[in-house]
Chains A and B, each alone.
Chain A
Amino acid sequence: DTAVSQTPKYLVTQMGNDKSIKCEQNLGHDTMYWYKQDSKKFLKIMFSYNNKELIINETVPNRFSPKSPDKAHLNLHINSLELGDSAVYFCASSFGLAGGVASSYEQYFGPGTRLTVT
């Protein structure tokens, strides 16, 4: 009954490859997010989707392309991987703004995907 799940948990790949990370939530949330945690543990938002629509797109290289087939899934595809892409990527979900209820802003995080680019 995992709330937010990600696959794979670990991903080791070579520079130049293309890879995808999948995220699924079963909480009924309508907003999903991708965060990147670097080697210094700093967490920064990359993208956010609300009901399959992109609402936050930070200054992320266009090699990163999120895709949301439905509001329960948000996948992250990365083209032409670089050494600097090595990090832990966390997916999260929450209720969005439409409800206007204070507790809707709590975000639930997945277990993370540790990406290592060699």
Chain B
Amino acid sequence: AQSVSQHNHHVILSEAASLELGCNYSYGGTVNLFWYVQYPGQHLQLLLKYFSGDPLVKGIKGFEAEFIKSKFSFNLRKPSVQWSDTAEYFCAAITGGGNKLTFGTGTQLKVEL
């Protein structure tokens, strides 16, 4: 069965620090990958997505992610975080051309001033 894993459960950074959140998936075929963000008390919003083409995907709010097929990874990055980036971040995948979205367990990011 497909699965998505996020190894960093809690991350604390100072403002202006660089961010990288890990995401790995287990599926050998076609995969569509997503990063969603959930700000405190709010619903999930799509940060970025990968379907095909350029493995470096740029999303909203300065986030980007790189799809590395050989490593089954889709890590999220931001060169300089802000206090307003404090949120829960979810990696998700759709595999095999279906529409079942499988989420990772999430990473709680806290950015300190």
B-contacting residues of A (Cβ < 8 Å)? 31, 33, 40-45, 48, 50, 55-56, 90, 92, 94, 96-97, 102-103, 105-112
Q: In B57-108, which residues have CB < 8 Å from any A CB? A: 88, 90, 94, 97-103, 105-106, 108
Contact A102 B43 (CB under 8 A): no
User: Would you call the interface of chain B mostly helix, strand, loop, or mixed?
Assistant: strand
Contact B43 A44 (CB under 8 A): no
Contact A97 B51 (CB under 8 A): no
Q: Which residues of A contact B105 (CB under 8 A)?
A: 40-42
Q: A42-B103, A42-B106, A92-B101 are in contact. List 15 more A-B contacts (CB 8 A).
A: A41-B38, A41-B108, A43-B90, A43-B103, A43-B106, A44-B103, A48-B99, A90-B43, A96-B99, A97-B98, A102-B52, A108-B46, A109-B36, A109-B43, A109-B44
Counting chain B residues whose Cβ lies within 8 A of the other chain, the interface size class is 20 to 34
Contact B99 A105 (CB under 8 A): yes
In the assembled complex, 13 residue pairs joining A and B whose CB atoms fall closer than 8 Å, in A order, are A40-B105, A42-B103, A42-B106, A48-B99, A48-B100, A94-B99, A97-B99, A102-B32, A103-B51, A105-B32, A105-B51, A105-B94, A106-B34
Contact B46 A106 (CB under 8 A): yes
